[in-house]
Amino acid sequence: MSNKLIIFAVVLIFTGFGFASDANKPDVEQIVQKANLAAYYQANNGRAKVIMTITDKKGEVRNREFIILRKDVADGADQNYYVYFLRPADVYRMVFMVNKHTGTDDDRWLYMPALDLVRRIAAGDKRTSFVGSDFLYEDVSGRGLTEDAHELTDSNDSAFTIKNTPKNPDSVEFSYYTVSIDKKTYMPVRMQYFDKTGRLYRTIESLEIKDISGFPTVTKSKASDLNSGSSTLMEFSEVQYNISVGDIFTERYLRKPPAEARR
């Protein structure tokens, strides 16, 4: 649930893969689709508490604590996220909400209680920092599969490696990124982003994976900015799947957090 939660978001299951006309070569589109299901669509919905630790290049630490709720509209398609901040005091009651759409831009809102202000996050801002961390807004709910061209560049006993190149390169800051996907669970375990010169500048790693209610689940995820020297660790606890989640993913609940987020 989380991790997308997540951040991180970096969360995941599924077995088997299809084969292309070359019987020895897996179908890259099926691999990518199964990894997306594993990372963002475990069960029908989910809830987790997240502690985010942001460490700058000097070793100074800031913390964030929040509840993340997810509810799928359709498996592998539209879904909704609600992130309710608990700590520290300067972000208490802040809400980040996503209505995720397949084939079109997601709707994203941020409620800032100190100003009593609801702000729509423009599609062009989805690759900006999520509340001052090294995770991006897009990392929370995932990047659309159709936004990139996918190429299988390696396959060994344990993992697939997929190279993803944006179809609209002017819309993003990277030239391409690679994803290492575990063959047993289809869980993305490492992502590496390369800038316009081809230099590695950003990574996301799944540091800990646990089985929760039969679902392989990322419980620790880390994003690192190699340019600034900062990193962000997200730790997930109290993870639950297939719970009761109401119709809370509307603007009216930005100022009035539902019981699902507060309990």
Residues 72-94: pLDDT tens digits? Answer: 998 888 999 999 999 999 999 99
At 11, the amino acid letter reads V
Nearest to 35 by CA among 154, 129, 192, 143: 143
Q: Report the pLDDT value the prediction gives residue 99, as an integer from 0 to 100.
A: 95
Total count of residues recorded for the chain: 263
Q: What is the pLDDT of residue 104?
A: 87
Segment 89-103 shows an average pLDDT of 93
Residue-wise pLDDT for 36-79, tens only, equals 999 999 999 999 999 999 999 999 999 999 999 999 998 888 99
Tell me what the mean pLDDT of segment 222-246 comes to: 97
102: closest CA among 155, 47, 144, 53?
144
Q: Flag whether pLDDT at 229 surpasses 60.
A: yes
Residue 18 has pLDDT above 60, yes or no: no
pLDDT value of position 23: 52
Sign of CA dihedral 123, 235, 205, 155: negative
Structural domains of the chain sorted by starting position, each given as residue range(s) with its CATH number in brackets? 28-254 (2.50.20.10)
| CA dist., res. 239 & res. 46, Å (int) | 7
Amino acid identity for residue 169 in this structure: P
- The pLDDT value recorded for residue 21 is 43
Question: DSSP class of residue 136?
Answer: B
110 near 93, Cβ under 8 Å? no
Q: What is the dihedral of CA 215, 181, 4, 90, to 10 degrees?
A: 110
Q: pTM for the complete prediction? A: 0.87
Residue 226 pLDDT more than 90? Answer: yes
The residue ranking higher by pLDDT, 48 or 21, is 48
Q: Provide the strand spans (E) within 7-134.
A: 45-55, 61-72, 79-87, 95-100, 107-112, 117-120
C-alpha–C-alpha distance, residues 78 and 180, integer Å = 25
